[in-house]
Every structure is written in structure tokens, then in C-alpha cells.
Amino acid sequence: MTGLIHYCLAYAAFDPAWLTHPAVRWPLTGAYLAVLGLIAAYGLHRYWLVWLYFRTRRRVPKPLSRYDPLPRVTVQLPMFNEANVTRRVIDAACQLDYPQDRIQIQVLDDSTDGSDQIAQERVAFWARQGVDIQLLHRVHRHGFKAGALADALAGATGELIAIFDADFVPPPDFLKQSVHYFTDPAVGMVQTRWDHLNRDNSLVTRCQAIFLDGHFLIEHTARNRAGRWINFNGTAGLWRRRAIESAGGWQHDTLTEDVDLSYRAQLVGWRFVFLPLVRCPAELPPEINAFKAQQHRWTKGSIQTAKKLLPTVLKADVPWGVKVEAFFHLTSPMVYLYVSLMALLLYPAFFVNMQPFEGGSAGAFLLGMSVFALGTASASAFYVVSQQQQGRGVLTTIAQLPVLMSIGVGIALNNARGCIEALLGHDSDFVRTPKYNTLQPDRHTGGRHAQRVIPTPSIKTWMLVLEIGMGLYTLECARMAAFSDRALLSTPFLLLFSFGYLYVGLTGLLNQRLAGGPTPQPAF
């Protein structure tokens, strides 16, 4: 660490005169303006989503009719080495308020650590209570989660398929609130909103909750009610079996098999419904490395899906509004790469006027304010509205924004790596997000159950060091800005960048040490 600090200080002290050479300045300026333009474009799109949300929020979907009798449903519970939450999700699924002769439970447990014994015990218990439940344990890992879902579909008896990941706890009335939308024969999938069991567990969970609220309450609602396409989120939703099969079934050539199947299903004509008022609670990853592993998978998988399906979507016979929204939806993780590039260009920006206007001019002021409004302010509006629509205090949310933005910047390198890997065609396993069950009571004290940090094998030590290095780099930029009349106003934002990188890197390194190092662990 000392060597890294000395290196960064030495780098900060070098003679920057060469940066002003035209052969260097103009490429840097072009790159800087291009990155700012791309970030601004996606920021403008966030404003568009907020506007679209307010325009369409009263278009509440209603079932075409109601089933009588209710359709047969198969509930699938994919899991892998989930000892902390296996019992909870199986018990919740078996207590769904639905006619016993109309529901089948499939526990898809491919565990290799012995935790499948918990599943065996709970399956045997509920079978004795008359529940139609079976445990499907594969002896191979082909296809990971997508492979498990595909293999289980052959034995499913339901015309509708409900899927819950192991960290979810479906409420008893979940099926009765959602199945009736399938009375419309054009509906292929119904997605419900994720709720959060441990929203206030830590700084990381509070930020995640706001991130996800924005995705579900603003993005999903706006897109679905405006006739754009949405995606199944991998859990807390129901599929019509025919929709899965007609779209080509579950495929595992991307890390987001849910997004992949969603777009293929909508390409062949199926309509999706999002129900923001039907909430399915789940536990958020309580520590930073688990969160980063999940984000890396989602980011990489989204770009993989864009490479796979976006050309087909753009050529499809669908409205242009659908095509444009699909482009922004599938490519939105690229913003993390653009933010990382912008951070790298911050230091040379102090020595090169990397904008078409002179510093202090009206043009420079307008350019700076435009970038701020389209980049930072658009994200702020997006998340403030998502909280305000839930009845959460606007002022409280605004007070949380600096930390929220810092964490978003802090994970940018991790997610940028996912984008680059996807663009280069680098394959990787589906690495499961560690599940903790932080709300589980201790059998002796009755308080929360304390557990050691679970290793996250996809988090590399060199990435943590790189994040810390970026924190020091942006901290030096903040120091320089504080003593520069031209860049003084940027100091608070540079400090947010620095805090985000240092928090994510240092916390990740600490948790990795607490977990015993980057211990290899099977993927799922």
C-alpha cells in the first residue's frame, strides 16, 4: 500500500507540459468530450423515463377476466449451496395460498456442499403434509441456473411457471394476485416488484434498495405502461409455459438468461405485464463483495444479451419506440465504462483545456451546467422520484444522494470490467451471489444471527487494489481542484469519486480478509 501511495504521488508531481502538445491535446480533448457526450445521452434518457413514468403511471393493468377454476402452477426454486436460506424459501413456497391440487413445487437444488440435505428434509416434511413437491438434484452443472430451469421444465405439470430465487420469500397471496393476468392469451410473463427484507441493514443495503427501487418503480413501470419491452428479473415472476417454449427455451450463452429469454419471447409476440403493487420481499447482499459480484454478472450479462439480440431487435418489425428503448435498456451498463474513462481523464483535464471553450467563458459555463444536469442531476431526479412515490421523505432521500452517487461510482471499475469482458467475448461461469439470511435469529440470544463473511470468488484482489488506487488518484485530483480557481467548483464531486472508490476498495479488501481470502468456490 505504501508503495502505491508513493507511486501515485510521484505520478502527480511529474511535469505535465507534454500534455499541451497538439498531438496529445486534441485526442485527449476528443476522448473527453465523447465520454461526456455519451454519459449525457444516457442521463437524458433517465429524464425521459421519469417523464414517461408520470405520463403513464395511471395506466394500471387489469386482468382481462378471472380464472375459475384457477390454473395449475409449477413453482420452481433454483438453488445451489444455499444452506442459509434453503429452509426459508421452501417453507414460504409450500405455504402459498393456492389450491393444493393446482400447485406443484420443484426444488432445483444442485448443491455440492451438503446443503441439499436441508432441502431433502424440508421436501420430505411438506410431502407428508400432502404438498405436491419434489427435489431435483442434478449430478452435473451444465448450464448453471438456466440449465437447471430447462431440465426441470420437462417434469413441470403447470401451465404457468413461477420462479423464486433462494433469497426470496414469496407472500402467501402472491399467486392469487398475479395469475389472473394470464386470462389474456397474449400475456406471456408477469413480473412483480422486489421488496427488501433488510433495507436498513447497512450502508450497502440502503443504497442497493434505492438502486432497485429506481429500476422497478420508474424503469419497469414507464416501459411497460408505454408499450415498450421489459424483462423478467430472474425471480418473483410467472411465465406461461408456452411462452418459454415458443421463444426457444432457457439458454445459457449469456449470464442473464432472464433478459435473454425475455427479449426472445417479446420478439415472437408475447406481451409482458409488470405489477408494482404486488411485492415479493428478498434479502439484499449485505456486504460489498457480494453486491459487486451480483452487479458484475448483471452488467456482463446485459452486454452479452445486447450483442446477441440487439441487431435482431433493431431489424424486427416492431415500433421504433420499442427499438430505441431496447437499445438504451440493454446497453445502459456501458455508462460504468464511460464513467471509468472520465475518471481517468480527470488528471490531464487540469492541464489541458479539454473543451471547445475557454475556462470561465459563458460557453464553458453552459457546457459544464449541461453536463451536470444531464449526468448527475438526472440520476438524482430518477432516484428521488422512486422514493417519493413510495411515500419516503424527499429531503431524506436527497441527503442520501451523495453516498448513493459515491457507491455508484465506486463499483464503476468492477462493472466496467464486466462490460469489457462481454465486448471481448470472454466467457465466465455464473457465480452465485452469496446468501446470508441476516434476519435469522440466533438460537441462544434471540438476536440477529452473526455469520462470518462468505468468500466471493469472482472478486479479484488486483481489482480491489485498482479501486483503492483510483480513490487515491481522484483524491489527488480533488486536492488540485481545491487550489485551482478554474476547477474549484468540481472539488465536492471529485471527493465523492474518491470516497466511492476508497470505500468500495478498502471495504472489499477487508471483507476478503475476513472471509479468509479469495477462496475458490463452485459457481452458480
Contacts of 335 (CB under 8 A, 6+ apart): 38, 39, 42
Per the domain annotation, does 422 fall within a domain?
Answer: yes
How far apart CA 161 and CA 120 sit, in angstroms, is 22
Note if 485 is an active site residue: no
Q: pLDDT class for 521, splitting at 50, 70, 90?
A: very low
Cβ(453)–Cβ(515) below 8 Å: yes
Examine residue 438 and state whether it is found in any structural domain, yes or no: yes
What is the reported pLDDT for 45?
A: 95
Q: Is the pLDDT of residue 519 over 50?
A: no
Please write the tens of the pLDDT for every residue from 376-434. Answer: 788 889 999 999 999 998 999 999 999 999 999 999 999 999 999 999 999 887 877 88
What is the pLDDT at residue 443? 43
Selected catalytic residue, list 109, 213, 258, 260: 258
Residues 6+ apart with CB under 8 A from 295: 411, 414, 415, 418
Amino acid in position 241: R
Find cell 413441470 and name the residue.
Answer: 156
Q: Hey, what's the torsion of the CAs at 402, 408, 413, 417, to 10 degrees?
A: -170
Structural domain includes residue 352: yes
Examine the pLDDT at 101 and tell me if it is beyond 90: yes
In a domain, 434, yes or no: yes
In this predicted model, which residue has the larger pLDDT, 245 or 32? 245
Q: How many CA atoms lie within 13 A of 318 on its CB side?
A: 23
**CB within 8 Å of 389: residues ≥ 6 apart:** 217
If you average pLDDT over residues 492-515, what whole number do you get? 93
φ, ψ dihedrals at 168, nearest 5°: -100, 155
Q: Which residue has the cell 397474449?
A: 186
pLDDT confidence bin for 437, thresholds 50/70/90:
confident
What's the number of domains the chain is made of? 1
Residue 411 has φ and ψ, to the nearest 5°, of -90, 5
Instruction: Please tell me the pTM assigned to this model.
Output: 0.90
pLDDT at 74 over 50: yes
For residue 69, say if its preceding peptide bond is cis, omega within 30 degrees of 0. Answer: yes
Grid cell, residue 236, equals: 418473483
Residue 191: which H helix or E strand, with range? Answer: strand 187-196
pLDDT at 374 exceeding the cut of 70: no
Residue 70, pLDDT > 50, answer yes
Give the pLDDT mean for 60-65.
96
Q: Which of 93, 142, 88, 92 is nearest to 115 (CA)?
A: 88
Q: Residue 51 above 60 pLDDT?
A: yes
Cα–Cα distance measured from residue 1 to residue 41, given in angstroms and rounded to the nearest whole number: 38
CB of 182 closer than 8 Å to CB of 160: yes
410 within a domain of the structure (yes/no): yes
Cell of 166: 433462494
C-alpha cell recorded at residue 31:
476522448
Is residue 444 included in any domain, yes or no? yes
Please name the amino acid found at residue 321.
Answer: G
Give domain status of residue 440, yes or no.
Answer: yes
Active site (annotated) includes residue 15: no
Q: What is the pLDDT of residues 299-345, one digit of tens each?
A: 999 999 999 999 999 999 999 999 999 999 999 999 999 999 999 98
Q: In which domain, by residue range, is 410 found?
A: 18-63+184-460
Query: Which residue among the candidates 109, 110, 165, 260 is catalytic per the annotation?
Result: 110
Which residue, among 5, 169, 179, has the nearest Cα to 90 in the 3D structure? 169
